Amino acid sequence: MAQGSQALAERSRNDRVTYDVWHEQGWLKTTPGATVSYDYVAMRLRDLVNDHRIQKIAFDRWGMNHLKPALLRAGFSESEVKDIFVEHGFKSMSPALRDLEALILEKKIRHGNHPVLSMCMENTINTDDTAGNRKLDKKRSSGRIDGAIALTMALAAAPSAWTAKVDIQSLIG
């Protein structure tokens, strides 16, 4: 078993979630090694942008100072980083959550029974600030919610409001 596989198996045991099985079934992508390599992520993003019609990628500003140098090493130009990568934070989370809720309630979103996204959505808890803005709160959630945050960020980065049904599985696969 590779070092990354050992870490995934350990995380599966600790969280009591079948990450290792989801990885074997192709539902969950991992990075090689025991930690996340920004260079690996940047190369994967370069491949995805080259192979698909990706227009925008939302990112958390906290991690961008680590990711940007790796993106440049992976062949992204400064202008591509500026044009493709869209900062996402508390201010953009509230309208994106409103849009996501509308898509769900209007049955305009499908995710192909993706087990990782289902788990993340089931674990989410919203937090409100005094102005009524909302965000998904990792601290108050009962488990991992990264997939739900990624979906919300993707909606925030979308160039226009979604009017058609969204097939999440086709975006992930």
Residue 152 and residue 98 in one domain: yes
pLDDT at 164 over 60: no
Average pLDDT, the chain: 86
Q: What percent of the chain has pLDDT over 90?
A: 45
Q: What average pLDDT does range 103-110 have in this prediction?
A: 88
Which residues constitute the domain of residue 16? 1-35
pLDDT of residue 1: 40
Answer yes or no: do 116 and 139 share one domain. yes
Q: Does 26 share its domain with 97? A: no
Please state the rounded mean pLDDT for residues 88-96: 83
Q: What is the pLDDT of residue 114?
A: 94
Q: Which of 87, 106, 122 is the last residue of a domain?
A: 87
* Burial category of 151 from C-beta neighbours within 10 Å (exposed 0-12, middle 13-18, buried 19 and up): buried
- Same domain for 156 and 110: yes
* pLDDT score at 166: 61
Region 9-33 average pLDDT: 91
Predicted pLDDT at 149? 92
pLDDT at 39: 95
Coil, strand, or helix at residue 140?
Answer: coil
| Statement to judge: residues 95 and 159 lie in one domain | yes
Same domain? For 104 and 130 the reply is: yes
Residue 136, number of CB atoms within 10 A of its CB: 24
Poorest-confidence range of 103-112, 137-146, 152-161? 152-161
Q: What is the DSSP string of 48-117?
A: HHHHS----EEEEHHHHHHHHHHHHHTT--HHHHHHHEEEE-HHHHHHHHHHHHHHHHTT-EE-TT-HHH
Q: Are residues 51 and 76 in the same domain?
A: yes
167 shares its domain with 96 = yes
Q: Are 42 and 67 in contact (CB under 8 A)?
A: yes
Residues 111 and 161 in one domain: yes
Q: Mark whether 98 and 159 lie in a shared domain.
A: yes
Examine the domain organization and report whether 108 and 125 are in the same domain: yes
The band of 63, judged by pLDDT with boundaries at 50, 70 and 90, is confident
Task: Specify whether 100 is located in the same domain as 166.
Answer: yes
Lowest-pLDDT choice from 14-28, 41-55, 158-172: 158-172
Q: Select from 87, 104, 126 the last residue of a domain.
A: 87
Number of domains within the chain: 3
| Tokens of residue 32, six digits | 């090689």
CA separation for the pair 135, 129 (Å, rounded): 9
